[in-house]
Amino acid sequence: MQPELIFLDTEATGNEPKKDRLVQVSYKTSKGTRTEYFKPSIPVSVKAMSVTHITNKFLEDKPAFEGSEMKGELRKLLKDGIMVAHNAPFDIAMLKTEGLEVPRFIDTLRVARHLDAENKIPEYNLQFLRYYLDLDIEADAHDAEADVRVLEAVFKRLQAKMPDVQELIEISSRPTLFKNFIFGKYKGQPIADVARTDRRYLEWLLAQKSENEEAEEDWIFTLKHYLAI
């Protein structure tokens, strides 16, 4: 029998797992979907509020994640199941900060990049893939429960091309080697070319990404590759 798939998404006070905390967790299993909000031990950043619209005032009367029923339930599910997430290293790092381990996972972001061998897809964020793959689904962006619905639909589309769950796990466990910059002043340009013309930029970027190493594994791996470190 295949282990339970746990489609999961989180929202947090910011994007640095070592210091930020969870404010919303949503997951879906074969038994249904569960979503809860939590009052974090630190304030939600203005940047995070501008993206998720989850405010400190809204969270004032919410319970803490620590000691919650959901945390206990997730601990059991993650021990025996397979977590499915988009940009899984971030969610794994956030869960680890909150005291939860993720033994097995599938990262739809890494799988999508792997399957796009010809580099045809311009962007790989969850909402872009939703529309690029023409998925017929009702969901608002930047809400954990809505993102879980999109996540499951993206996963099913990817699994149609790669049905072997173990292979999906293996691909997800390996860092992605980026070919082109997807942000910054060199957006769209081959990283190999920039490494030859502006090596100092790559060195600077590596230092920046290394400050958040748990969530930036792919970029750290990529930059070290092109810098031949």
Answer yes or no: do 149 and 185 share one domain.
no
Q: What's the mean pLDDT when you consider all of the chain?
A: 94
Boundary-marking domain end, from 150, 172, 194: 172
Closest CA to 31 of 96, 77, 66: 77
Q: 119 CB contacts (<8 Å, ≥6 apart)?
A: 179, 180
Question: In terms of domains, do 166 and 201 share one?
Answer: no
How many other C-beta atoms can be found within 10 angstroms of the C-beta atom of residue 7? 25
For residues 217-221, give the mean pLDDT: 94
Measured between alpha carbons, how far is 68 from 54 in angstroms, rounded to an integer?
A: 19
| Same domain, yes or no: 127 and 227 | no
pLDDT at 114 over 80: yes
* CA 115 – CA 102 distance, rounded (Å): 24
Work out the pLDDT band at 113, boundaries 50, 70, 90. Answer: very high
Model pLDDT for residues 168-216, shown as the tens digit of each residue: 999 999 999 998 998 899 998 999 999 999 999 999 999 999 988 877 9
From residue 95, alpha-carbon distances to 71, 103, 158, 206 in Å are 9, 12, 25, 24
- Structural domain for 209, as ranges: 176-229
Which residue stretches of 124-213 are H helix?
126-132, 144-161, 165-172, 191-197, 199-210
Degrees, nearest 5: CA angle 174-175-177: 125
Which of 144, 172, 200 is the last residue before a domain boundary? 172
Q: Does residue 113 sit in the same domain as residue 155?
A: yes
Q: Are residues 100 and 124 in the same domain?
A: yes
Question: Which range, of 55-59, 154-158, 179-183, averages the lowest pLDDT?
Answer: 179-183
Question: Is residue 19 located within the same domain as residue 125?
Answer: yes
User: Is 36 in a helix, a strand, or coil?
Assistant: strand
| Number of structural domains in the chain | 2
pLDDT in tens, 121-155: 888 999 999 999 999 887 776 678 999 999 999 99
Residue 69 sits in the same domain as residue 141: yes
Same domain? For 104 and 141 the reply is yes
Domain match, 88 and 163 both: yes
CA atoms within 13 A on the CB side of 107: 24
Instruction: Please list the alpha-helical segments (H only) found in 81-164.
Output: 88-97, 108-115, 126-132, 144-161
Distance CA 124, CA 87 (A): 10
Same domain for 122 and 12: yes
Which pLDDT band holds residue 90 (cuts at 50, 70, 90)? very high
106-139 burial code (b ≥16 CB/10 A, e <16): bbbbbbbbbeeeeeeeeebebbebbeeeebeeeb
Q: What is the pLDDT of residue 137?
A: 85
Per-residue pLDDT, 196 = 96
CATH of the domain at 17: 3.30.420.10
Q: Based on the domain organization, do 130 and 227 belong to the same domain?
A: no
User: Distance (Å, rounded) from C-alpha 41 to C-alpha 113?
Assistant: 35
Tokens of 197: 């013309």
pLDDT at 13 over 70: yes
Helix (H) or strand (E) holding 6: strand 5-12
pLDDT of residue 122: 87
Write down the pTM of the prediction: 0.90
Same domain, 192 and 168: no
